[in-house]
Amino acid sequence: MPAVQETVERVKRIDVDQYRYGFETLIDSEKAPKGLSEEIVKFISQKKNEPAWMLQWRLEAYRRWLTMTEPTWARVNYPKIDFQDIHYYAAPKPKKTVTSLDEIDPEILKTYEKLGIPLREVAMLEGIEPKVGEDDPARRKIAVDAVFDSVSVATTFKAELKKAGVIFMPISEAIREHPELVQKYLGSVVPTSDNFYATLNSAVFSDGSFVYVPPGVRCPMELSTYFRINERNTGQFERTLIIADKGSYVSYLEGCTAPQRDENQLHAAVVELVALDDAEIKYSTVQNWYPGNSEGKGGIYNFVTKRGDCRGANSKISWTQVETGSAITWKYPSCILRGDNSRGEFYSIAISNGFQQVDSGTKMIHLGKNTSSRIISKGIAAGKSQNTYRGLVTAHRKATGARNFTACDSLLIGDKCGAHTVPYIEAKNSSATFEHEATTSKISEDVLFYCIQRGLSQEEAVGLVVNGFVKDVLQQLPMEFAVEAQKLISISLEGSVG
Amino acid sequence: MALLEVKDLKVRVEEREILHGLTLTVNEGEVHAIMGPNGSGKSTLSHVIAGKPGYEVTDGQILFRGEDLLEMDPDERAAKGVFLAFQYPVEIPGVATMNFLRTALNAQRKARGEGEYSTPDFLKKVREVSKSLNIPQDMLKRGVNVGFSGGEKKRNEVLQMALFEPSLCILDEMDSGLDIDALRIAADGVNALRSPGRAMIVITHYQRLLNYIVPDFVHVMSKGRVVKSGDKELALELEASGYAQFEDAA
């Protein structure tokens, strides 16, 4: 069955306004009391058995945070967040120390099963174990780190990755087991003082993923983290740190879902990527946090800082994101092109429906010589949503030969939504070549009628046209996720026409 | 039972009446040409039969094999066998033609309660038809009509007609924008689809097209009505004398 057809089938089975990941898992959990103070920061650090330096780092961030104010420049509106009304730590109550998957609370395993995320170490495509001695390169494996509320509950394929020298583990473990790497790189891309939400994250982050790929190693499988917010009134603050050492390569995927709730929940993550000489990191996100209901009630506030540092010469960092969820998205995955000849890429599909507000884009900061960057952004606004692309492209004085190409396309469905493009372009070097293209169009009635005359329903027609619109970006996703994303796009847009 | 019966059809667009009581009966196997000057309502008729939004039917009815066509959504009409070859086929960037054909064909088959085509059967069928229409395979990989020449767009319409096997084909100004060679290829494709179980309505401004697709009946439209009907000789007569004679008759 072709993917589009499958999409269409899926859309048909789902009622309008039904978020398929909206279920809640009933498990025993341990929560910190509501509110934020030095005591809470110490509590979190203690829960994680952290060394003293880590606690100091957190406390410095916390003290800094107290002096900061929330940014208000984004094109999003929401009631003021009461930061003392949030639990900053929640963890599924461990029955005992977990050493293998079999010991994890079966309710949690079921949750991930429902989400379609394999926590068993099986080959992803066929869903069967390869036979002994069989090494089929076409059968791709994906290693998964599952983060449930504030803690990582499982990381698969650890042993196999270890053989290749790749470290893939919860960051809380990495702090204890690889302090030299964490201390060297944590906060080196997004400093603790970076911005209000990143600073908050630095103080209270409880888990996330850590990846280190040693020199010359091509990571043998896709790495993936699935974030799930389950607890009520809980903020999720995960921290991801990926280091690709000289000449290495890694592809990393991130997926997010949350239960359907009437209240808004805060998600403030920080992701730091470091690519050394000749290294490449490909980071893909399929973000599907609960977007709120058809009246705009509930949904996740997604205030995320993601930044990659092309620290070495000839390094490359590529961000691909499919953003369909969250009530509010405030997110600008960026690249610092420090190394000579380094390259940054940003491919984005941002879909907003209902009352969603998206303010997303990227920053490409050209510092090294002959650096290049490429931005392809596809924004789709439907319902009563507002969808803003905000981007910054700068070339430093010494960034001779910097090149950027930007294409921002917006598609409007219906007449109650808005699409906005806010590009900032700054060249301090006369040899820089920056190109910017932008289009805004409405989904064409003639195109829809053409499809419908050929037998497609209205929703099938919209799904088809939108999938065509975003094709350039979908192609950048690893294959399994491209299919998933394609389905998600159609589901996100259901009920958007008529 | 007639395949298509249009009875005393009155249609408005934004408060202005375009069709003022049009009647037309088409039986299986027949090819009807509808001719008339610009603004006579030819394209409106084709759009209303296919169910394009924006038209208000104020009176009359359209029956398709005795069923009320106006009660059906446009995609239902397509599944029942109503096909409109567009005067200006639209472009759908990013959607490969092959994917589009397959999605549409399977949507129609599903609506009729038929099984989906298997991939080999589908590919075989597309190859056969596209070959006879001189459509290169790489064209099918491109976005629907994106970067197609006028002739390629019209051939793509005929390709769909051949694949979907509709019982009523409406060809809206198929000759517009085509040179004589492109016209011949498209017309040959259409002629190959003439069959006792299938009817066609050929809408055209010029007699030229009817040299290639020879109709059984010719109707002249003027100011929203059929003012004269006859056989293929009527088209030749029109070519000689023009539409002016009918302006008063309407």
Contacts of A468 in chain B (CB under 8 A): 92-95, 143
Q: Where are the domains of chain A?
A: 5-489
Per-residue pLDDT, A212: 96
- To test the contact with chain B by mutation, choose from A7, A443, A450 the residue with the greatest count of B C-beta atoms within 10 A, namely A450
Q: A468–B95: do the CB atoms touch at under 8 Å?
A: yes
* Region B127-138 average pLDDT: 85
Of the ranges A41-45, A180-184, B130-134, which is most confident? A180-184
Q: B92–A467: do the CB atoms touch at under 8 Å?
A: no
Q: A456–B95: do the CB atoms touch at under 8 Å?
A: no
Band the pLDDT of A78: cuts 50, 70, 90. Answer: confident
Which chain B residue has its CA at the smallest distance from A449's CA? B52
Which chain A residue has its CA at the smallest distance from B79's CA? A455
Band the pLDDT of B16: cuts 50, 70, 90. Answer: very high
Per-residue pLDDT, A255: 79
Backbone angles phi, psi at A76, to 5 degrees: -140, 145
Q: How many helices (H) and strands (E) does chain B have?
A: 10, 12
Instruction: Say whether pLDDT at B247 is over 80.
Output: no
Please give, rounded to a whole number of angstroms, the shortest distance from the CA of B78 to a CA of chain A.
Answer: 5
Per-residue pLDDT, A106: 66
Per-residue pLDDT, A375: 96
Q: B103–A464: do the CB atoms touch at under 8 Å?
A: yes
Those residues of chain B whose CB sits closer than 8 Å to some CB in chain A are 50-53, 73-75, 78-79, 83-84, 86, 89-95, 99-100, 102-108, 111, 116, 143, 160, 164
We find that the CATH architecture of domain B4-249 is: 3-Layer(aba) Sandwich (3.40)
Contacts of A446 in chain B (CB under 8 A): 90
Q: A450–B143: do the CB atoms touch at under 8 Å?
A: no
Cα Dmax for chain B = 57
Per-residue pLDDT, A20: 61
Give the lowest-confidence range in A15-29, A175-189, B14-28, B157-171.
A15-29
In percent, how much of chain A has pLDDT > 90?
A: 45
In percent, how much of chain A has pLDDT > 70?
A: 78
Which chain A residue has its CA at the smallest distance from B95's CA? A468
Q: Which of B73, B75, B90 sits opposite A447 (nearest CB)?
A: B90
Which chain B residue has its CA at the smallest distance from A464's CA? B95
* Region A75-84 average pLDDT: 87
Residue of A251, A250, A248, A252 lying closest to A217 (CA atoms)? A248
3-state secondary structure labels for all residues of A35-73? CCCHHHHHHHHHHCCCCHHHHHHHHHHHHHHHCCCCCCC
Query: Tens digit of pLDDT for each residue in A403-441?
Result: 999 999 999 988 889 999 999 999 999 999 999 999 998
* Region A428-456 average pLDDT: 93
**3-state SS assignment for residue A193:** coil
ipTM of the complex: 0.95
Instruction: Say whether pLDDT at A278 is over 80.
Output: yes
Q: A5–B160: do the CB atoms touch at under 8 Å?
A: no
Chain B touched by A475 (CB under 8 Å)? no
Q: Work out the angle at residue B116's Cα, subtended by the Cα atoms of residues B2 and A484, and round it to the nearest 5 degrees.
A: 130
Per-residue pLDDT, A203: 93
Per-residue pLDDT, A492: 74
Within a 13 Å sphere around the CA of A50, how many CA atoms are in the beta-carbon half? 26
* DSSP H or E stretch at residue B4: strand B4-13
Band the pLDDT of A13: cuts 50, 70, 90. Answer: very low
Per-residue pLDDT, A187: 94
Compute CA distances A254 → A24, A147, A288, A464, whole Å: 20, 11, 10, 25
Q: Whole-angstrom Cα distance, residue B183 to residue B177?
A: 9
Q: Whole-angstrom Cα distance, residue B49 to residue B59?
A: 14
**3-state SS assignment for residue A188:** coil
| Residue matched to tokens 């033609």 | B97
Query: Tens digit of pLDDT for each residue in A122-152?
Result: 433 333 333 333 344 434 566 777 766 656 6
Band the pLDDT of A221: cuts 50, 70, 90. Answer: confident
* Region B162-190 average pLDDT: 91
- To test the contact with chain A by mutation, choose from B55, B92, B105, B164 the residue with the greatest count of A C-beta atoms within 10 A, namely B92
Q: Which of B73, B86, B103 sits opposite A2 (nearest CB)?
A: B103
Instruction: Say whether pLDDT at A228 is over 80.
Output: no
Instruction: Say whether pLDDT at A6 is over 50.
Output: no
Higher model confidence: residue A23 or residue A240? A240
Q: Where are the domains of chain B?
A: 4-249
Q: Which of A2, A457, A469 sits opposite B94 (nearest CB)?
A: A469
Query: Tens digit of pLDDT for each residue in B194-209?
Result: 999 999 999 998 888 9
Query: Tens digit of pLDDT for each residue in A110-125?
Result: 666 666 555 555 433 3
Chain B touched by A468 (CB under 8 Å)? yes
A480: Cβ contacts below 8 Å, ≥ 6 apart = A124, A125, A140, A142
CB A44, CB A61: distance < 8 Å: no
Chain B touched by A464 (CB under 8 Å)? yes
Q: B103–A8: do the CB atoms touch at under 8 Å?
A: yes
Give the lowest-confidence range in A233-237, A314-318, B165-169.
A233-237
Per-residue pLDDT, A126: 30
* Region A86-99 average pLDDT: 64
Chain B touched by A462 (CB under 8 Å)? no
Backbone angles phi, psi at A396, to 5 degrees: -70, 165
Which chain B residue has its CA at the smallest distance from A474's CA? B94
Q: A465–B52: do the CB atoms touch at under 8 Å?
A: no
Which chain A residue has its CA at the smallest distance from B118's CA? A1
CB A417, CB A387: distance < 8 Å: yes
Give the lowest-confidence range in A91-95, A228-232, A375-379, B9-13.
A91-95
CB A288, CB A321: distance < 8 Å: no
Contacts of B74 in chain A (CB under 8 A): 449, 452-453
* Region A160-186 average pLDDT: 92
Compute CA distances A69 → A72, A108, A140, whole Å: 9, 37, 45
Per-residue pLDDT, B83: 97
Chain B touched by A467 (CB under 8 Å)? yes
Q: B74–A452: do the CB atoms touch at under 8 Å?
A: yes
Per-position b or e across B128-154, b if 16+ CB within 10 A of its CB: ebbeebebeeebbebbbbeebebbbbb
Q: A455–B78: do the CB atoms touch at under 8 Å?
A: yes
Band the pLDDT of A8: cuts 50, 70, 90. Answer: very low
Q: Which of B75, B89, B94 sits opposite A468 (nearest CB)?
A: B94
Strand partners, A142: A222
Which chain B residue has its CA at the smallest distance from A475's CA? B94
Please give, rounded to a whole number of angstroms, the shortest distance from the CA of A256 to a CA of chain B.
Answer: 27
